[in-house]
Structure 1
Amino acid sequence: MDTNRLIRKGPWEWHIAPEGGMYVPGVLYADAALVGGMDDKVFEQVTNVARLPGIVKASYAMPDAHWGYGFPIGGVAAFDPELGGVVSAGGVGFDISCGVRTLLTGVDSEQVEAHKAELADALFAAIPAGLGSRGEIRLDENAMDAMLSGGADWAVRCGWGEERDLERIEERGMMAGAVPALISAEARKRQRAEMGTLGSGNHYLEVQRVAEILDEPTAAAFGLVRDEVVISIHCGSRGLGHQVGGEFLKRMALAAHEYGISLPERELACAPINSDLGREYLGAMRAAINCALANRQIITHLTREVCAGVLPAARLTLLYDVSHNTCKEEVHEIDGQRRRLFVHRKGATRAFGPGHPELPGAYSGTGQPVLIGGSMGTASYVLAGMSTSESLAFSSACHGAGRAMSRRQATRHWQGRQLIDDLAARGIVIRSPSPRGVAEEAPGAYKDVSAVVDAAEGAGLARKVARLVPMVCIKG
């Protein structure tokens, strides 16, 4: 991106002045190198989001921002329904409620090292991964409705998890306001056999070593100990979420003129929050959020079963589960007034600061755990939300490293089989049904995750707590 088009406000903050129908400025949080490496399409998408009705404060881009569908991935925007604000299916994305869940094991990495291959094989056998992967669970219509209403809470009631898990899941594991009746027959069909599966693309289950503690008091509160092992799960709402996104994008694009909305581009299809279509999308999207929460809960249960056999000393306790493709109704301060807003986070993580009423008691003093995935050959990070993030970007932070090249470009540079061998030589065990999928997700296809989290901390969005490095990666 040409930084001459931006107004630099500090080492980590860049503005795009409102022009050409923009209601608010664009704001990018990143250092000069990260901004310079962003595709020009990010500039275009940030400004287009700023042209949507009812947007407040700014159209934001996180340090990992890159070109997405409609909104940039790493985009954040909030809309006020009292000002004609809209909800955008493109602002949430197709993988509704894709997110990360991290489990503590309490086991030293040396204990795991001797069992890495066995653990990788057992996890790969127990948790289906890859395009169109199907699990052993089959949901009839009643069970489907219960899952779409109950999320992770439903999964725990069915025996896939522990009651204590729920306190450490966003929305306590169940998104209120879901309307299962709005989920189409095709979406239900796609999901019927996909519960407890990782899917493809950048989804993974990773066994990680806590390589570095960067904030001792917060790490202690989170239960993170240097050289102990954690397990992170990254996936979302699978085929159901994709179907919901596609269906409502079409409906919103066709209905835009009825609401007097001039779309900067079709991918930003939206509807007024207070319209029938807007309310229907929110009801269906919330059901898809519950699908993702239930899916990660079931995968957690399957992971616990595997570890009970391979690592009997492990006690898999949930650190946190947070999504990064959502639209949430939240209260934020605008011009000194508390207002009800609908905050879109597309490839961006909620990052509530210390004292926020929605945090579990154990994290009230630290701020929310913010789980940042890297790539299968690089570090991941645990951050903590900061109070400054509220005014900077509606309590939001980055969600990962962010792609530096497309999947097609990555397959021109790397071969999956060679990557697996190279990573094995570094002590990282990869299991995947698709060598091509491994090539698409090559570590070199991503930005430097350490630079991204440095920028997030420098900007005041979230602070670093711990750095994690991969030992085993089950890749979709």
Structure 2
Amino acid sequence: MNLQQLHQLEPCLWTLPRATAEKRAEVLLYGTAPLLVSMDDKVLEQAANVAFLPGVVGASMTMPDAHWGYGFPIGGVAAFDAGQGGVISVGGVGFDISCGIRCLRSNLSLQDAAPRFNELADTLFHAIPAGVGEEGEIKVNLTQIDQILQEGANWAVKHGYGNTADLEYIEEHGRVADAVPDNVSELAKKRQRGEMGTLGSGNHYLEVQMVERIYDAAAALAFGLHEGQILISIHCGSRGLGHQIGTEYMLILAKAASRLGIRLPDRELACAPIKSPEGQQYIGAMNAAINCALANRQILTHLTRVACEKIFRDAEFETLFDVSHNTCKAETHEVDGKPRLLHVHRKGATRAFGPGHPALPERYRKVGQPVVIGGSMGTGSYILAGSSGNRAFASASHGAGRAMSRHQALARWKGRALVDELAQQGILIRTRSMRGVAEEAPGAYKDVDLVAEATEQAGLARRVAFLRPKVCVKG
């Protein structure tokens, strides 16, 4: 990205100046100069396009890990006011609805686990279905699918996958309201019948990690973290169901925009007013997909525990937190000193409520919401805590963010060589696709250390702990 197009407001905050006659919201970009330079110019173009949509409140924003996406940039955030004609956009949520991370803390130390990492890697690989179109042993009928879309992780717990204690540490206690299973097509539901409790492919993973460094002792204590501790992070979403919803509603909302005379700066930003029939229909389907993803991660949590207990009999894995990345949520935020109900799109960005927020579990309320910035295999991840001074509608970075396309990565790396190289570094990879490993090469992503540091400097969330990968299961 050419920084000469931008005006720097703060060390980690930039804006795109508006032309005199340009009628759009402000565009704000969070990040350091090196991170912004590493971004494609398409990020700026997409963020500016979002600023032209009806009812944008404040600004169209990008997080420090932003990169080019479909409609919104990945790492894009924008809030809309339904009372002022605000819209909801499929391109602002994404096709992998409610892709997110479930983080589990354990009572294991590196000293306990290291001698059996190879065995653990093999056991998790065989226990966790992963890969393109990969199905698991759990098969659900259409009636059960409707229940899952309505009840979320609560359905999984009721059917023996995990426990009620998990629900306290999942956004919305594992079930978002206003889900309408009838708004989800039969085709979308059929695609999900064999995919509950599966990881998927691409950048999805299950990773065994070790807490290598603590930055904030008070927050780490609240989160139950200490150096040398073993954690597991599960990164996945709503699988085929979410993708099918995105595909179908992209067309439905595009027709609605045309019918209502909404001029789209980019057809990938297909949208409809939040209060319109089509907007409400999509919200009901999207919320159903969020519940599907929350149930999926709950089932995967159970499968992970069962696998780990085969090796470590006294192991305990508690849910640290679970939050989605690709959603639009109705939330109350202060704007110009007054509370307003807004629909906040977070596309490849995570919610990051600060200290004192009533939606947080009591255990975390004094320090803020746990926020996970997932790195690529081989580089490490961060746990942060939401900041009270967050000006991006309580949003933060969700990962390292791609620095090059999958095609470019394939041209540069070979999967087998990467697996061998990472093994020499003490990181064990288990995968069904060496092509997928090459596409997700650590070098294909931004420097996660720089992203986490910029996220803190920008006041979005503060670093609590750095996690070093030890085992990574991928599709």
Q: TM-score range by the shorter chain?
A: over 0.9
Deviation at 1:110? 1.5
- Checking the alignment, whether the CA contact within 8 Å between 1:22 and 1:48 is kept in structure 2 is no
2:158 is matched with which residue? 157
* Aligned equivalent of 2:81: 80
| Structure 2: stretches of 5+ with no match in the other structure | none
- For the residues of structure 1 that align with 2:437 and 2:469, how far apart are their CA atoms? 15
Cα distance in 1 for partners of 2:220, 2:34 equals: 29
Measured in 2, the distance between the counterparts of 1:311 and 1:76 equals: 41
Name the CA distance, whole Å, in 2 between partners of 1:68 and 1:216.
Answer: 36
User: Is 1:132 aligned to residue 147 of structure 2?
Assistant: no
Correspondence list, 1:17-416, <5 A: 17-19=17-19, 21-389=22-390, 392-416=391-415
Q: How far, CA to CA, are the matches of 1:118 and 1:318 in structure 2? A: 23
Return the letter of the residue paired with 1:242.
H
CA shift for structure 1 position 244: 0.3
8 Å Cα contact 1:97-1:292 kept in structure 2: yes
The AA in structure 1 aligned to 2:451 is: V
For residues 474 and 292 of structure 1, what CA distance do their matches in structure 2 show? Answer: 19
* 4+ residue runs over 6 A deviation: none
Q: Distance in 1 between matches of 2:42 and 2:18?
A: 17
Instruction: Say which SS state the counterpart of residue 291 (structure 1) adopts.
Output: helix
Give 1:21 shift: 4.4
Q: Distance in 2 between matches of 1:224 and 1:51?
A: 43
Give, in whole Å, the separation in 2 of the partners of 1:252 and 1:263: 11
RMSD over aligned Cα, in angstroms?
0.8
CA separation in 2, counterparts of 1:22 and 1:218?
A: 43
Is residue 351–residue 396 contact of structure 2 (8 Å, CA) maintained in 1?
Answer: yes
Tell me, in whole angstroms, the C-alpha distance in 1 between the residues paired with 2:16 and 2:151.
41
Residue 29 of structure 2 contacts residue 63 of structure 2 at CA under 8 Å; is this kept in 1?
yes
SS in 1 for 2:152: helix
Equivalent runs, 1:455-470 vs 2, <5 Å:
455-470=454-469
Amino acid at match of 1:88: S
The Cα offsets for residues 157-177 of structure 1, whole Å up to 9 and x where unpaired, read as 111011000000001000100
Indicate if the aligned counterparts of 1:351 and 1:384 stay in contact, CA closer than 8 A: yes
Once the two structures are TM-superposed, the CA of residue 111 in structure 1 deviates from its matched residue by 1.3
Give the conservation status (yes or no) of the 8 Å contact 1:101–1:371: no
| Aligned partner letter, 2:115 | A
Q: Secondary structure in 1 aligned to 2:98? A: coil
Aligned letter for 2:426?
G
Partner of 1:14: 14
How far apart, in 2, do the equivalents of 1:103 and 1:185 lie?
34
The one-letter code sitting in structure 2 at the alignment partner of 1:442 is A
Q: Work out the CA distance in 2 between the residues paired with 1:195 and 1:50.
A: 37
Task: Quote how far apart the aligned CAs of 1:332 are.
Answer: 0.7
What amino acid is the match of 1:140? N
Using the alignment, how far apart are the partners of 1:22 and 1:210 within structure 2? 48
Distance 2:47 2:199 in 1: 30
Shift of 1:333: 1.1
Per-residue Cα deviation, 1:363-413 (whole angstroms, up to 9, x for no partner) = 110100001100000010000000111xx1000000000000000100000
Q: Distance in 1 between matches of 2:252 and 2:18?
A: 29
Which segment drifts farther, 257-266 or 274-283? 257-266
Distance 2:312 2:428 in 1: 17
The CA deviation string for residues 140-162 of structure 1, in whole angstroms up to 9 with x for no partner, is: 12211110000001100111011
Counterpart secondary structure, 1:114 = helix
Letter in 1 for 2:2: D
Q: What SS does the corresponding residue of 1:95 show, helix, strand or coil?
A: coil
C-alpha distance in 1, partners of 2:311/2:85? 55
- Distance across 2 between alignment mates of 1:472 and 1:73: 26
Q: 2:109 & 2:45 partners in 1: Cα distance?
A: 47
- Tell me the secondary structure at the aligned position of residue 411 of structure 2: helix
Contact 2:179–2:287 (8 Å) recurs in 1:
yes
AA at the equivalent of 1:8: Q
Report the 3-state secondary structure (helix = DSSP H, G, I; strand = E; otherwise coil) of the residue aligned with 2:420: helix
Tell me, yes or no, if the aligned pair for 2:28 and 2:59 is still in contact at 8 Å: yes
Q: Distance in 2 between matches of 1:449 and 1:313?
A: 33
Quote the Cα distance in structure 1 between the aligned partners of 2:16 and 2:312. 52
Cα gap change, 1:22 to 1:301, in 2 (>3 Å):
farther
How far apart are the structure 2 equivalents of 1:134 and 1:225?
A: 36
Q: Is the 8 A contact 2:142 2:190 kept in 1?
A: no
Question: Residues 436-451 of structure 1 correspond to what in structure 2 (within 5 A)?
Answer: 436-451=435-450
Corresponding position: 1:3 with 2:3: yes
Q: Is the 8 A contact 2:179 2:285 kept in 1?
A: yes
Which shows bigger deviation, 448-457 or 14-23?
Answer: 14-23
Using the size of structure 2 for normalisation, the TM-score is 0.99
How many angstroms does 1:258 deviate by?
1.1
> How far apart in 2 are the matches of 1:384 and 1:291?
26
Asked whether the equivalents of residues 142 and 193 of structure 2 are also in contact (C-alpha less than 8 Å), the reply is no
CA distance in 1, matches of 2:175, 2:64: 29
Q: What's the counterpart of residue 454 of structure 1?
A: 453
Looking at structure 1, the residues matched to 410 and 216 of structure 2 have their Cα atoms a distance apart, in angstroms, of: 38
* Change in 2 beyond 3 A, CA 1:120/1:22: farther
1:18 deviates by 3.1
CA distance in 1, matches of 2:318, 2:292: 21
CA shift, 1:22, in A, is: 4.1
The 2-side partners of 1:450 and 1:215 are apart by 16
Whole-angstrom CA distance in 1 between matches of 2:23 and 2:178: 31
* Alpha-carbon distance between aligned partners in 2 of 1:383 and 1:9, rounded to the nearest angstrom: 24
Q: Residues 257 and 154 from structure 1, CA distance in 2 versus in 1: closer, same or farther, beyond 3 angstroms?
A: same
Shift of 1:254: 2.1
Tell me the secondary structure at the aligned position of residue 356 of structure 1: coil
Distance between the aligned counterparts of 2:236 and 2:284, measured in 1? 21
- Structure 2 distance, partners of 1:418, 1:92, is 35
